[in-house]
Structure 1
Amino acid sequence: MRNWDDLRVFLATARAESLTGAGRDLRMDPATVGRRVARLEEGLGATLFAKSPQGYALTEAGQKLMTHAEAAEAALRAGTGEASGAGEGLSGTIRIGAPDGCANYLLPQVCARIAEAHPALDIQILALPRVVNLSRREADLAIAVSRPKTDRLRAEALSEYRLSLAASDDWIARHGAPTSPADLKGARMIGYIPDMIFDAELDYLSALGVAHVPLASNSISVQLNLARAGAGLAVVHDFALPFAPELRRVLPGEVALTRTFWLVSHAGPRDARLDRVARLLRDGMRAELARLEAAVA
């Protein structure tokens, strides 16, 4: 092993899967990144990347080094986190990744309260209609709808949340409310684009026996707004309903889904500052979910 700076270049290249992406992240010329990677490979006597027109993919040796490099990175983060987290106020930048429903209807309120209590802390919310890739350092913390299946990540159950079938008063006035789940098979449904469902936990309509989705989006927020516009029936988060006064729950006694949010972080040595943010996020999410779902109930 040479030094931490070499490992930093290696990690950036592995996560970006290209010299250009690594150079952008490191604010370094791609050619310099390439020379640094080549120097590291020469020093270790191993090929770390398989280079192709598609990019840089880790070899078996690269995968092994990745494990050790991430452990070294986590240890360094833990040390600096303990130093910066010793005082009462949090500072620095924290990026939180989340699916767009959570990012739109829960995190703004939660993060606003955290920011108010810790004005030196910069908070970034990364809203994505897919799984946030912590291994590539897209975020420091992520909220997921299912527990990750890898020992490279740490996961904690945040809270259960509920989903209901809903439609606008306008749509119900024009089409009538369904009287049983069997009526949904012929109704105009709003849901996810079938081949873009990134987690089985989001396949709500299949669980209701609905095969055809005439109005679809990869964004739960777009689905909610389609329902608000009177386009059809949608499965929506109960915590989002207070933001959509046009919507009314349909078949509430017969169609009720429950899912779980997970708080995901990097495995390895603990980072005191990140742990404090995680605790604030966990407590804030649970309180905000309870408040919004109580308003609906």
Structure 2
Amino acid sequence: MQYDGGGIIENWDDIRVFLAVARAESLSGAAPGLRMDPATLGRRIARLEERLGTALFVKSPQGYALTARGERLQAHAARAEAALALAGEAGGPDRGLSGQIRIGAPDGCANFILPQVCASIQAANPDLELQILALPRVVNLSKREADMAVTVSPPEAGRLTVQKITDYRLSLAQRADAPVPGGLSDLKRPLVGYIPDMIFDRELDYLGALGAKGVPLASNSVSVQLQMLRHAGIGIVHDFALPFAPELRRVLEHELRLTRAFWLVRHAADRRSARLTRFAAALAAGVRAEVARLEAECLTAARARRDG
């Protein structure tokens, strides 16, 4: 592989090490995925820089930041990595999906939707290794934190492809044994929701819909919020999460029902990957089906309580 910053790289393993450190921005962050210790990675990077006769990283206690020449090498290396992956797919047998795929997602989707969907896809493709990266923030695809991501709003920048997966509904919910409030202006139980200054997407800011000024019980995790509601308070919950907490019930449905959407975001270059395109189609279809199934289960339970 020729490098325009000066020098020639002949060993693909050097590129693999370089890309991992560049994406993790640290030796310790890259070490687990490469199954090497940070000291070994440091020596490998130093030898690579020596052979190329140029610094690829600025090292500091905060981590490894790419130099201008390092950024040029990363662009070339990423293209070479994608080309190798495509070549491997083209030469492989016509069979089920295989290899490792990592999906990034907000923790509501990651906890209540993706486990069932991924289990189903993997059962049909035994050679496939699926990883769910659950983060209370936007997944950084440009740094290859994941191969693709489910988001709650479409990104407005970057070389990405975006497709809408499905809408989903949210409702106000509390324990079934708590008194039902008379209206949104009569919410006597403590409000459960996101930590206001840690809301990473505008679609997750529900305070305006509630006319509330504060959140007495807050977390940056949807799963933690659900656990809080199982003990006390009232808050906005995904309808698809309610079947996992049968002691909760929706309230004030005539006053407050929210609709949001899930979007599937991928690297633009990955459109040429038949493997990732096949997986993305299966993932989107699975998420749509699972959201519909769980929301129908939530609706059935609500009707049963009313009729009972």
TM range (shorter): 0.7 to 0.9
Secondary structure class of the residue paired with 2:79: helix
Give, as a single letter, the amino acid of the residue that structure 1 aligns with 2:149.
A
Aligned twin of 2:246: 245
Identity of aligned residues (%): 63
Aligned twin of 2:89: 81
**Alignment partners' CA distance in 2, 1:276 and 1:68:** 26
1:247-286 CA-to-partner distances (Å, cap 9, x unmatched) read 2212212211111111122231422222111111011111
Aligned twin of 2:108: 101
Aligned twin of 1:51: 59
Gaps spanning 5+ residues in structure 1: where? none
Give, as a single letter, the amino acid of the residue that structure 2 aligns with 1:57.
A
Aligned twin of 1:147: 154
Give the superposition deviation at 1:191.
Answer: 0.5
**Alignment partners' CA distance in 1, 2:172 and 2:218:** 15
**8 Å CA contact retained: 1:171, 1:232:** no
Worse overlay, 32-41 or 137-146: 32-41
Give the superposition deviation at 1:221.
Answer: 1.2
Give, as a single letter, the amino acid of the residue that structure 2 aligns with 1:221.
S
Aligned twin of 2:186: 183
1:267 and 2:268 matched: yes
**Alignment partners' CA distance in 1, 2:70 and 2:182:** 56
Give the superposition deviation at 1:71.
Answer: 2.1
Aligned twin of 1:16: 24
Secondary structure class of the residue paired with 1:170: coil
Among 204, 210, 215, the residue aligned to 1:208: 210
**Alignment partners' CA distance in 2, 1:143 and 1:70:** 22
Aligned twin of 1:193: 195
Structural RMSD (CA): 2.3
Distance change in 2, residues 1:149/1:105 (3 Å): same
**8 Å CA contact retained: 1:82, 1:271:** no
Secondary structure class of the residue paired with 1:182: helix
1:215-257 CA-to-partner distances (Å, cap 9, x unmatched) read 111111111122122x111100011122222222122122111
Give the superposition deviation at 1:38.
Answer: 3.9
Secondary structure class of the residue paired with 1:177: coil
**Alignment partners' CA distance in 1, 2:172 and 2:79:** 45
Aligned twin of 2:45: 37
**Alignment partners' CA distance in 2, 1:23 and 1:295:** 43
Give, as a single letter, the amino acid of the residue that structure 2 aligns with 1:148.
P
Aligned twin of 2:303: none
Give, as a single letter, the amino acid of the residue that structure 2 aligns with 1:51.
K
1:107-160 CA-to-partner distances (Å, cap 9, x unmatched) read 122122212222222222222222223333332222111223432333222111
Give, as a single letter, the amino acid of the residue that structure 2 aligns with 1:201.
E
**Alignment partners' CA distance in 2, 1:163 and 1:223:** 14
Alignment of 1:87-166 (within 5 A): 87-166=94-173
Worse overlay, 38-47 or 284-293: 38-47
How many residue pairs get aligned? The number is: 290
Worse overlay, 28-37 or 158-167: 28-37
**8 Å CA contact retained: 1:82, 1:273:** no
**Alignment partners' CA distance in 2, 1:82 and 1:143:** 27
Q: Give the TM-score taking structure 1 as reference length.
A: 0.87
Give the superposition deviation at 1:29.
Answer: 4.8
**8 Å CA contact retained: 1:81, 1:274:** no
Gaps spanning 5+ residues in structure 2: where? 4-8, 300-308
**Alignment partners' CA distance in 1, 2:159 and 2:48:** 24
**Alignment partners' CA distance in 2, 1:106 and 1:120:** 22
Aligned twin of 1:220: 222
Give, as a single letter, the amino acid of the residue that structure 1 aligns with 2:18.
F
Distance change in 2, residues 1:101/1:111 (3 Å): same
Give, as a single letter, the amino acid of the residue that structure 2 aligns with 1:82.
A
Give, as a single letter, the amino acid of the residue that structure 2 aligns with 1:178.
G
**8 Å CA contact retained: 1:164, 1:255:** yes
Point out which structure has higher relative CO (alpha carbons under 8 A, 6+ apart).
1
Worse overlay, 34-43 or 196-205: 34-43
Worse overlay, 158-167 or 127-136: 127-136
1:21-50 CA-to-partner distances (Å, cap 9, x unmatched) read 334432345444334434544555543322
